[in-house]
Amino acid sequence: MSSLVPPKSTDIQYETDAPIEYRVEDGVAWLMMDRPAFNNAQNGQMTYALDDAFQRAVNDDGVGAIVLGGNGKHFSAGHDIGTPGRDLHHEFDKRLMFAPHTNKPAAELLYTREQEQYLGMCRRWRDIPKPTIAMVQGACIAGGLMLAWVCDLIVASDDAFFQDPVNPLMGIPGVEYFAHAYELPPRIAKEFLLLGERMSAERAAQFGMVNRVVARDALRETVAAMAAKLAKQDRLGNWLTKQAVNHVEELRGKRAAMDAVFHMHHFAHAQNDLVKGDSIAGVSGKSAAAENKKAG
């Protein structure tokens, strides 16, 4: 795929019309990614459905807390880089006042799309005024990390692992929402990014990237109990409290750091396009999985 000649969006075959399952129980909105056949790979369709779901949960005064999870074996294999529903060249109504991306030449196409769909959406979701919990089992890879990181709390099962392999695979310094060096101490963030290896939930918890690690069969009930407690607490108090910590992160330069690294990320996409004729260095979902398997 070259970003110079966008294929027609009619090539896309969605396997579902509803990639996010939404339900409310006991004041808690459960947002479940529902592309289990593709390990919940995040395409544009899912991104916008997720944005709709978060908006719905925010608008509903009966919802006091939000859980984000994934149906099936894995939380998320990351951004969609190879399913029949990959929709890089489909135009959705922008939510964040960016121009259309599909008609833009060369590097401007991906830059415009990722400003909205990755960096912009993640920031929007991180700042929603209700507490959020990521419920993570199995794989949480690359784009999957962004979805977990925007949540206020992360609860993982003991079979969960976290990985950002985009430097080894594509020569790109991490996924678009560069929270790595905020979620992990700098030297561990370097190891995580440079080697791109899996980090177990237990190890992630040692660095504070994960709040709790529980047995796989206790995951849902653990998250449900935490979310129900949050949902019963004072709405404004919960909002102010999460804002307080988010604000401290901003004072530590999180937003400015992410803006800077986002541009390095796009320099690397452009370099891949120039050198390899493909912004992600010809990597597909299949080839990434094969490399991962080799790496153990």
Candidate ranges 112-120, 225-233, 238-246, 250-258; the one touching Zn ion (CB under 5 A): 112-120
Least distance to Zn ion, CB of residue 280, Å: 7
Cβ-defined contacts of 260-263 (< 8 Å, 24+): 261/173, 261/174, 261/178, 262/114, 262/115, 262/119, 262/176, 262/178
Least distance to Zn ion, CB of residue 244, Å: 31
Binding pattern for the stretch 152-191 against Zn ion, x by CB under 5 A and - elsewhere: ----------------------------------------
Candidate ranges 109-117, 222-230, 233-241, 282-290; the one touching Zn ion (CB under 5 A): 109-117
Q: One-letter amino acid identity for 284?
A: S
Read off φ and ψ for residue 106, nearest 5 degrees.
45, -130
Q: Are residues 33 and 46 in contact, defined by beta-carbon separation less than 8 angstroms?
A: yes
Q: Which is nearer to Zn ion, 50 or 172 (CB)?
A: 172
Candidate ranges 68-76, 95-103, 108-116, 210-218; the one touching Zn ion (CB under 5 A): 108-116
Candidate ranges 107-115, 185-193, 224-232, 245-253; the one touching Zn ion (CB under 5 A): 107-115
Least distance to Zn ion, CB of residue 137, Å: 25
Q: Are residues 51 and 94 in contact, defined by beta-carbon separation less than 8 angstroms?
A: no
Binding pattern for the stretch 114-143 against Zn ion, x by CB under 5 A and - elsewhere: x-----------------------------
Read off φ and ψ for residue 77, nearest 5 degrees.
-85, 0
Separation between Cα atoms, residue 128 and residue 114, nearest integer Å: 20
- In a 10 Å sphere around its CB, with 0-12 CB exposed, 13-18 middle and 19+ buried, how is residue 241 labelled? middle
Binding site for Zn ion (CB under 5 A): 114
